[in-house]
Amino acid sequence: MLRALHDVLYFFEAMFGLKVNFHKSMLIFVNVNDSWLIEVASMLNCKIGKLLFIYLGLPIGGNLKRVLFWEPVFNRIKSRLFGWRSRNLSLGGRLILLKSVMSSLPVYALFLFKVPSGIISSIYSILCRFFWGGCEDHRKISWVN
């Protein structure tokens, strides 16, 4: 069976001209003996991964209801906002940045997973703080409820 998987991957390379990079690839199995997993990884010349890993900026295999699962999304939003420094932009400039750039960052995560309402409100509060001119350590009062 393992040899058949190896042959299928090389057949894919021959047919489509796309090469599988086994050095960047990871094997992730559930309920498999470690000895068999090590043997498969050595035969395919790839790494052994664990179930909780990050793929395209989102953790795979975690609990969607935990805040820790959504940390990469929060960190990406906060890092973008930190670079812009809300005090250097006008109110209109902050609004344009939020509507055009920041609203598209969590879309991928929101499209793939059912997001708890608490996570959405946390993202919304981060964006509101930026819009009204506050930052993480110093908050200004929002003019709109």
Rounded-to-integer distance, Cα 43 and Cα 53, Å:
22
How many domains, in total, are found in the chain? 2
Rounded-to-integer distance, Cα 73 and Cα 120, Å:
11
Rounded-to-integer distance, Cα 19 and Cα 27, Å:
17
Residue 39 lies in a domain: yes
| Residues 60 and 22 reside in one and the same domain | no
Residue 140 lies in a domain: no
| Residues 103 and 117 reside in one and the same domain | yes
| Residues 80 and 120 reside in one and the same domain | yes
Confidence of residue 127 (pLDDT cuts 50, 70, 90): confident
At residue 16, the pLDDT reads 92
Question: Domain containing 25: what range?
Answer: 2-50
Could you tell me the pTM of the whole model?
Answer: 0.63
Looking at the chain, the number of H-run helices and the number of E-run strands are 6, 4
- Tell me which residue of 123, 119, 145, 141 sits closest to 132, measured CA to CA: 141
Rounded-to-integer distance, Cα 114 and Cα 59, Å:
14
| Residues 125 and 72 reside in one and the same domain | yes
Q: State percent of the chain over pLDDT 70.
A: 89
Confidence of residue 57 (pLDDT cuts 50, 70, 90): confident
